[in-house]
């Protein structure tokens, strides 16, 4: 693995194969609060460079993580799909270009996945301050359906700005494969 492209951070539970014991929290100001009555069983945060190559890498890591958590294949496929959509948006809209640099500095986004009692939470943190907006995609348009996919696949979803700049977009995918269609909080 190329350490310049991503790093992993074990936050709870057992160590995921890509974890590093010396990893510190990536953003102390953006600590999530678990939903009332929800226990966080396992968690991992992965850091990727803002490049198109990070999209398939994030899907691969997600599939491996879901396997290590023994998540059933239909739920795994849904989590991989929402990760792909959220990561693609982070890469595409992070600064409005596909270059991994801003002001000659490498640019990164963080992908967090959290196993809860009833769902898997997926969070993507990036440096772009603009929150996602729904766009009406033309029938033959190649893009513009990402948030519709998230709404269909997730139990809940949302986005918020961070005090350190940037934003986090998150969604919860139910561990019961029958729950589709989400609402923003």
Tokens (6 digits) for 142: 């190649």
Q: Is residue 181 left, alpha or beta, with left meaning phi > 0 and alpha meaning psi from -120 to 50?
A: left
Question: Where is pLDDT greater, at 71 or 93?
Answer: 71
| Rounded-to-integer distance, Cα 58 and Cα 156, Å | 21
| Rounded-to-integer distance, Cα 68 and Cα 10, Å | 14
Residue indicated by tokens 């993507």: 124
Query: Nearest CA to 153 among 132, 183, 174, 180?
Result: 180
Q: How far is CA 147 from the centre of its chain?
A: 13
pLDDT in tens, 76-106: 999 999 999 999 999 988 744 545 455 566 7
6-12 and 40-49 beta bridge pairing: antiparallel
Mean per-residue pLDDT of the chain: 75
Cβ proximity of 167 and 123 under 8 Å: no
Predicted local confidence at residue 31, as pLDDT: 38
pLDDT in tens, 2-44: 333 344 444 443 333 333 333 333 333 333 444 545 566 889 9
Cross-strand partners of 102? 105
The domain locations on the chain are: 8-23+39-174
Predicted local confidence at residue 17, as pLDDT: 37
Domain 8-23+39-174 has CATH 3.30.565.10: yes
The dihedral sign for the CA sequence 15, 83, 117, 72: negative
């Amino acid at each position: 693995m190329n350490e310049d492209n991503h790093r992993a951070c074990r936050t709870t539970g057992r160590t995921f194969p890509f974890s590093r014991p010396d990893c510190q929290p990536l953003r102390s100001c953006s600590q999530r609060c678990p939903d009332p009555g929800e226990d966080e069983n396992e968690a991992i945060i992965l850091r990727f460079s803002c490049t198109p190559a990070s999209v398939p890498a994030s899907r691969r890591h997600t599939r491996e993580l879901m396997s290590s958590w023994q998540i059933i294949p239909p739920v795994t496929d849904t989590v991989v799909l929402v990760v792909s959509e959220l990561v693609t948006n982070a890469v595409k809209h992070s600064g409005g270009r596909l270059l991994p640099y801003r002001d000659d500095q490498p640019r990164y986004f963080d992908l967090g996945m959290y196993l809860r009692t009833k769902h898997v939470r997926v969070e993507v943190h990036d440096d772009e301050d603009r929150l996602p907006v729904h766009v009406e995609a033309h029938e033959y348009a190649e893009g513009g359906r990402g948030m519709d996919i998230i709404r269909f696949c997730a139990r809940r979803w949302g986005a918020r700005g961070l005090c350190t700049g940037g934003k986090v977009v998150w969604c919860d995918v139910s561990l019961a494969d029958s729950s589709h269609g989400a609402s923003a909080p």
